[in-house]
Structure 1
Amino acid sequence: MYRKKDSLLSYKVAIRQKFEIERKGDFASFLLNPSRALLRDLCVQRFKDNPSKEDLKTFSIFFQFEFDPTTLNKLKAQTDKFRPIETFLKGETDLSPIEGINLAAILVNYQPRPYLKFDKSDLEIDVISVTTNEEIDLEKGKTNSEIIPRSTLKKKIGMAILSAVGLFSVGYTAKEIVLPTRECMQWQVDHYEEVDCTVKGIVSYNSAMPIDQHQFKLKKIEVDSNFVFFKGKKPVVFYCKVNGKPEFFNQLGTHPETEQVLKPISLHIINKYVKHKME
């Protein structure tokens, strides 16, 4: 089970992943290179298309007025309110207000939303890599296609049912039924390792967190000018800056120490921080 903080991070990562898919979909004209004005216009399109009660509530809380086709001029005056969402989707900044995050989910049409529905759902985000729906193993050079978000039921632990006359018994170990092993993960230099949630190890116990199957596969990588950064036109390296310098990783996710959402590599970053460094 995710802690609240981990669940919110997962929600934001899932929204960013959906954005990378949607920016090449039917609304690419709005999302391929989003600006505040384009996101505002996309917002109008989304809310014209049979919005749910939850979406309408998100709109009214965020903008402080109800959505109505007659209030579009009023929405134009709120264009600057889309700036934090713009920079969040581009991976430049984080986004904190819940209603702003929920509005971002509406813009990229991510489900389940709003956050409270996501937090209570059984949906586990395994992998949605940038633009491709592929999980890429950089070390082995293999791709695993057709990996999509899938809804999985939480494991339900069987309860022993004893008859009134005691005719049957259940042959499960009490420990497995009542106290299932709690598995956690902890960042170790350049990768995650499984740790026991209940035991304080040599490394800092506070940095341990419940295993997130997608984040667990994150690895920090070293790159040079000969590194393969793209498969076709699709980035397979992701980064964020720490103290002004980029750190590189093998997949989309959050930085294990700063918790920033990783961004796909670009030619600008390669030229400025990789090739220039080699010269």
Structure 2
Amino acid sequence: MKPRTSKNYQEEVLKKYRREKGGEMSGYLSTPTCSQIRDACIYLLNSRKEKKDDYILVRFFEFKSGDINIRDIENFGLGKFKAIEKFLKGEIKHTSTKNINLISWLIDFQPRPYEEFLKSNGSTHPYETDEQVPDHTNPPQTSEAPISPPEEEDLKKRRRLIITISIIFASLLMIMLILKPSLFNSNPIPNNENHCMAWADSLYVEVSCTSHPYSDFGTKVEPMDRVKLNSFKKVEVTMATDFFSEDEKPLIWYFKTKGGEMEFFTAPGLHPITGETLRKITPYIIETYVPLHINNTDSFLPRNQE
């Protein structure tokens, strides 16, 4: 019998997958996508737990607390399943050990994980692998040479020097942040009547603070917030609008008026008129309220604004 290696392991797992198309998980894995692979993990989480499976899941999903739970998997980036999808589809020939271990769990390959696969052949030394897998059940015994007094004193001096440099650096950083407007802004905005803004139908515009409490647009005068001024806008959307980023974070937020009208915004926060909290977009809202196409109209902005 030829020695078992990482290459053998990947070949055997892939052979079982192609033969059974995922077996029990064929509904998710016969034509796998990143989201289907994640959903299969969620489905199996509480139903397939053998002795070594916790190690496979903790290593792949990098659970910080050590507790394996569905919410962490739901929030796990879909892009991290891409290599698994490509491997199962034959687009790449090799993948990492933690990826192949997760596949072995999904299709119930035995023996798993990789190190158990090696042990099943009586192997007593590591074979070729793209990652070194630590054995958490029997950690290796290590011996450290005692540190001599001069070396210990030198180590203490280095630590004190590092701490001193860190304190100095932190202090300089705080000073720079405090003085940032005068250091980095060649044209700082003076703390005068122009340092305010107000909502003008579809976006914030700069207005005179002397018009407090209400601007010429009939909206409340607010202290200047450069981030909100540049990024918070009311927009019209269609099915062609990008509602989510590549990592599935919302790019649009919405508000439903008492009359049932839907308003869409480019950033989270409070509605500029009602003060109510905006809600992040969901697939249900898109399907229910977003039209296939609309005619764009210009935002209302008076010509003689201050």
TM-score scaled by length of structure 1: 0.39
> Which structure: larger Rg?
2
Quick one: higher RCO (CA 8 Å, sep 6+), 1 or 2? 1
TM-score scaled by length of structure 2: 0.36
